[in-house]
């Protein structure tokens, strides 16, 4: 009986931990892609996450090589799925750009991160 009780507690604990890990909104993919090189200026940066987001507590910003924010500061969350952020961009010069995000999932867990992409000469 002790062995089956320990087994049940161990499985329950693992399932609880797995649920907690899944509750955070992690970066799934982005457009332009993480670390990508693109020839044409993207009109926006879109970032997909693994969980739905709480709009009031999310940010998505794009910076040029000098550290200046260059996005149009019009971040939105896709109303169709609730897990995608988008921010519009001006026409970009060739160079490296850094995307910085901070999100809070609807269950109140926050995550943040950054990645770069590069615009090359056409």
Q: Once rounded to an integer, what is the mean pLDDT over residues 108-113?
A: 92
Which residues sit opposite 63 in a β-bridge? 69, 98
pLDDT tens digit sequence for 36-77: 999 999 999 999 999 999 999 999 999 999 999 999 999 999
The band of 121, judged by pLDDT with boundaries at 50, 70 and 90, is: confident
CATH class for domain 2-119? Answer: mainly beta
pLDDT tens digit sequence for 18-36: 444 456 889 999 999 999 9
Half-sphere exposure of 100 (CA within 13 A, CB side): 10
> Token pair for residue 57?
């507590």
The band of 106, judged by pLDDT with boundaries at 50, 70 and 90, is: confident
| Cβ–Cβ under 8 Å, residues 75 and 86 | yes
């Amino acid at each position: 009986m002790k062995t089956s009780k320990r087994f049940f507690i161990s499985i329950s604990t693992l399932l609880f931990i797995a649920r907690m890990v899944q509750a955070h909104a992690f970066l799934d993919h982005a457009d332009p892609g993480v670390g990508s090189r693109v020839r044409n200026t993207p009109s926006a940066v879109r970032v997909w996450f693994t969980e739905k987001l709480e709009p009031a507590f999310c940010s998505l910003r794009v910076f040029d090589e000098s550290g200046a924010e260059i996005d149009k500061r019009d971040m939105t969350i896709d109303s169709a799925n609730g897990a995608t952020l988008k921010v519009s961009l001006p026409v970009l010069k060739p160079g490296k750009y850094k995307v910085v995000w901070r999100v809070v999932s609807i269950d109140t867990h926050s995550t943040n991160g950054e990645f770069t992409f590069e615009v090359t000469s056409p």
